[in-house]
Chains A and B, each alone.
Chain A
Amino acid sequence: MAVREKFEYELHSAQEQLITLSTMAIDALDKSMKALIAHDIDKALQVIDDDADINRLEEELNDQVILLIAKQSPVATDLRRLIVTIKVASDMERVGDYAVNIAKETIRIGQQDLLEPIVKIQRMHELATSMLRQGIDALIEEDVEKAKEIADLDDEVDDLYGEAIRLLFQHSAQEPEQLSQVTQLAFVCRYMERSADYATNIAEQLFYLVRGRHYDLNK
């Protein structure tokens, strides 16, 4: 008989739950961006509604992991795997919250034409979602090589963030009547930049999981 079969099964089930949660959060971020570009208020409202499911799933996952720790006394890699699972779940839940924030900005902007720096924001969004998906893939496969690439992509997001904010400020100087949208897009920029940072966090967590030591990839 395989030793610790029940533990392995429950650990696997917690990891599956994390994948579901992550997919929902990344999809929400995707959907919020699409809603912004398309001025689609219904879609934005749907992102806000769906966030409750992400939050509930994160709570369930936390409970599941706490029970596993309490009942199975895991150590070493098993313990790190569980701790990393709840930390990544928490990061993903935050990504879901950013999607909600972007959806709210979408509702505030309404049908106004979007200012030109939206192109930069779209690029940031592409990178951030791709980094998050790659982070989760790396985590599933416990592949540190994949995780390394995420840190490099984050540099690009940071650069885009700087450029987008600079362009938005220029707009606010030239078209003061656009100040409201400038502020809203600046917030969206910030949410995208933070989402990319969470992808880097996931990469760090993976390094910790595999090597048992802390690495700072977010400098």
Chain B
Amino acid sequence: MNTATIKTNINTAQPAAETAQQVEKDSVYSTRQLNLWYGNNHALKNVDLEIGENEVTAIIGPSGCGKSTYLKTLNRMVELVPSVKTSGEIQYRGRNIFDSDYSVEELRTRVGMVFQKPNPFPKSIYDNIAYGPRIHGIKNRKILDEIVEKSLRGAAIWDEVKDRLNENAYGISGGQQQRICIARALAIEPDVILMDEPTSALDPISTLKVEELVQELKEQYSIIIVTHNMQQAARISDKTAFFLNGEVIEYDSTDAIFSNPADKRTEDYISGRFG
């Protein structure tokens, strides 16, 4: 053994094998110096984040850290809250979504959203899925049929509901309702899907089904998911952002965040020492 070589090896802190370099993908969203206030409450502080295309990005952090606020900023839904003020910018596909001439309707057509509790419309399964396309002017029954089937297949629920398309969506299980909501988001052929704790109201099997679905969907869509379930973030995401008190403390590959985070606050949070 060559001692000199080993000493150099240790002292320069070079590991024997480097982990594979993360290949940077194109950004679908670029957030730069985003600040957001609810009245006097400074809820997001100088957030810089690049969201990769065809990736699953998980946003984690304790309650009140700003993760849901950030998610709702990405489709400007946060503006529904009175007294919201923002500064900085969020570029979606190269255009700042806060530009005065930016169409919110256009943005929300490109960016679908799935919420914590399944919220199907009190309509048939079919009409739930056809709702968005109809608003966009599609009346042709054959085309609607195709969209409904494609969306339900995309959300991995077609086989379970294909014989009950005219039944009320309230009549199926919570897990199925959530996948109907995902299918409803897919029906308008979005580019991005935002998910706000999409499995927190679901049983473990339904949760795993939605998680598997997310893995399949990322082939075609970019997905940003807020989750309180750390293991879920570890299982399904490519990148993870840790938010604390409105700031992004650490943003890295999920592998790095859950095996060797750079910031002690991240480590303390993911290992359950606070939050």
Residue numbers of A with Cβ under 8 A of B are 3-4, 7, 73-80, 148, 151-152, 154-155, 158, 207, 211-219
Besides A152-B3, A216-B9, 8 more A-B contacts (Cβ < 8 Å) are: A7-B272, A75-B259, A76-B271, A212-B259, A212-B260, A214-B16, A215-B16, A218-B1
Assess the B6–A219 pair: CB atoms within 8 A. yes
B-side interface residues toward A, CB under 8 Å?
A: 1-3, 5-7, 9-10, 13, 15-17, 19, 230-231, 234, 258-261, 267, 270-274
Contacting residue for B6 out of A74, A151, A211, A213, CB 8 A: A151
28 contacts between A and B (CB under 8 A): A3-B272, A3-B274, A4-B271, A4-B272, A4-B273, A7-B272, A73-B231, A74-B271, A75-B230, A75-B234, A75-B271, A76-B259, A76-B260, A76-B271, A77-B271, A79-B259, A148-B7, A151-B1, A151-B3, A152-B7, A211-B15, A213-B15, A213-B260, A215-B15, A215-B16, A217-B6, A218-B1, A219-B1
Cβ-defined contact, B17 with A75, below 8 A: no
User: How many Å lie between the Cα of A207 and that of B16 in the bound state?
Assistant: 11
Q: Which chain A positions have C-beta within 8 A of B260?
A: 76, 211-213
CB-CB < 8 A to B10: which residues of A? 148, 151, 207, 215, 217
Instruction: Note all chain B residues with C-beta closer than 8 A to A217.
Output: 6, 9-10
Query: What CA separation (Å) do A158 and B2 show in the bound complex?
Result: 11
A216 in contact with B16 given A4-B273, A76-B258 (CB within 8 Å): yes
Determine the distance from Cα of A76 to Cα of B234 in the docked complex, in whole angstroms.
Answer: 11
Chain B residues, CB < 8 A from A78: 271
CA distance A74 to B272 in the complex (A): 9
Residue of B with least CB distance to A157: B1
Instruction: For B2, list chain A residues within 8 Å (CB).
Output: 219
